[in-house]
Amino acid sequence: MRLARSHRSGSPPLKQPKFPPEELQWVEASPRNRDGKAHALTVIGPMRRLWPLKLRFLARRHSSMVREWAARKLRGLSFLHFARWVLIDGLPGADGRTREPLRSVHLYFEANFNGGFEHYIDAFAYVIPGQIRQIFGGAYGFPGPQPATAFKAYIRRHDYPAALYYSAYPEHTATQILAALAQRARVAALADAAPDLEPQAFARAWRDLLAGRPPMVPTKLPRQKDRNYAIGGQAYALTVFTAIRPGREDELRRFLNRLAESGERPFEQSATTHFARLVVVDRLPFEGSPFGEPTLPFQYLLFATVLDGEPEAHLRDLCERMPRTVDAVWGKCLGGSEQPSATPQAFASWIRANQFETSAFFAPYGAATLAEVRAALDVGQRARHLAVKTQYDTPRTLREDFLREFGGGRMEWPRP
């Protein structure tokens, strides 16, 4: 329908970009993409022929210092728990192990973030447009980070809703965790020093501790050889695609639906999983590349997780702690047995065979294990309660209360 009234100056009416209604609707509305305050973003997009070369070059060239410097703005934004990008050049074929090359390399980007989608993508588009362009620049259909409206539409077009999404600390944000980790170190230092401090000096130190804000950017971190590990940390990014056995897709979907609807959290059994997502990929996005529309021989299950330490030990641990889920999910995939949990070592090596190497892994607190994160959050909460309770106490009472709460000199980091 034409506009009711043309432009006053006589110029033709401005052309409005048309987005189909489904693009306006983001799948955040799907409760599956959320776990408490954590939101999942899973983007897969095809790339132009030479772009993966550039990304591979960038990923290898960057020393850890350079990468940390490049990530300083992302740290400053402070709403990302973990993010990664991975190059998907092929997917498992009929034997469930050997990779069949895709006609164009696809970029896989995942984020675990806090806050609303609108605010999150706006921050990406306006604060780190250069880095977004550096990563997505060669993807078909990528309109550029600005205007953000078109960028959001691109993300919506390429976003996959998670069938199951798990966060180990759903009620806490990345900012809270970073602050808690920094505060825990200070509380531990104060707890060590407290018995020898005069009450007045202790009160000063305690108030300085409460008034201080944690530094955002670490100065120097050791380089990791395995790029799946966080720089300077032990958090590991595992990205796995397995082909689903033909005819078993609906069964798998039904199981994942039931799991999500029942509110069961199988990954809670694992003491080394920070975040995990299971996504059923039944199509690849098509943006008019010269290679034509990609067709997938199978539907695929994407398993992406952030874990502590060794991936093989973690996978064996999953078999032990959540065998029912492992069997119900990966038993329906090609290449493994019907009951993978019965043979943990075989399961671990099969999953590792289908793993994709992480090109870049952003992990602001990748040095802390899950147990350490939980302990730090607990200390943060106790310190806050103490601060509320004692804010106008005398220094002597304050020191006594503090020592009662944090038992001077007895704070140990927990070991998983």
Binding site for other proteins (CB under 8 A): 1-5, 7-9, 13-19, 21, 24-25, 29, 37, 73, 76-79, 114-116, 118-119, 122-123, 126-127, 146-150, 173, 175-176, 179, 207-208, 210-211, 213, 384, 387-388, 391-392
State which residue, 109 or 206, has the beta carbon closest to other proteins. Answer: 206
State which residue, 105 or 373, has the beta carbon closest to other proteins. Answer: 373
d(CA 108, CA 129): 18
Largest CA-CA distance found in the chain, in angstroms, rounded: 82
Is 11 exposed, middle or buried (CB count within 10 Å of its CB: 0-12, 13-18, 19+)? exposed
Contact at 8 Å (CB) between 16 and 74? no
Name 23's Cβ contacts closer than 8 Å, sequence gap at least 6: 153, 156, 157
Q: Strands 34-35 and 355-356: what pairing? A: unpaired
Question: How far apart, in Å, are the Cα atoms of 319 and each of 33, 142, 234, 245?
Answer: 25, 40, 22, 20
State which residue, 22 or 268, has the beta carbon closest to other proteins. Answer: 22
CB of 415 to other proteins, least distance (A): 27
Cα 270 to chain centroid, rounded = 17
State which residue, 261 or 338, has the beta carbon closest to other proteins. Answer: 261
CB of 123 to other proteins, least distance (A): 6
State which residue, 148 or 302, has the beta carbon closest to other proteins. Answer: 148
CB of 378 to other proteins, least distance (A): 14
CB of 328 to other proteins, least distance (A): 30
Encoded tokens for 105: 């390399």
CB of 55 to other proteins, least distance (A): 25
CB of 21 to other proteins, least distance (A): 5
State which residue, 245 or 374, has the beta carbon closest to other proteins. Answer: 374
State which residue, 151 or 267, has the beta carbon closest to other proteins. Answer: 151
- In 249-331, DSSP assigns E strands to 273-281, 300-308
State which residue, 89 or 198, has the beta carbon closest to other proteins. Answer: 198
Encoded tokens for 383: 């310190």
- Put the strands of the sheet holding 235-243 in their side by side order: 164-167, 273-281, 300-308, 235-243, 355-356
State which residue, 37 or 253, has the beta carbon closest to other proteins. Answer: 37
CB of 209 to other proteins, least distance (A): 10
Give the N- to C-terminal CA distance of the chain in Å, as an integer.
64
CB of 372 to other proteins, least distance (A): 19
CB of 245 to other proteins, least distance (A): 36
CB of 194 to other proteins, least distance (A): 17
Q: Angle at the Cα of 325 (from 362 to 177), degrees rounded to 5?
A: 30
Question: How far apart, in Å, are the Cα atoms of 409 and each of 67, 187, 385?
Answer: 37, 10, 20
State which residue, 198 or 282, has the beta carbon closest to other proteins. Answer: 198
State which residue, 31 or 101, has the beta carbon closest to other proteins. Answer: 31
Instruction: Write out the DSSP string of 102-168.
Output: EEEEEEEEEEEEES-HHHHHHHHHHHSHHHHHHHHTTBTT---S-SHHHHHHHHHHHB---SEEEES
State the Cα torsion 33-35-37-39 to the nearest 10°.
Answer: -20
Strand partners, 241: 302
How are the residues of the chain apportioned to helix, strand and coil, as percentages rounded to the nearest 5?
Answer: 45, 20, 35
Encoded tokens for 196: 């020898």
CB of 155 to other proteins, least distance (A): 14
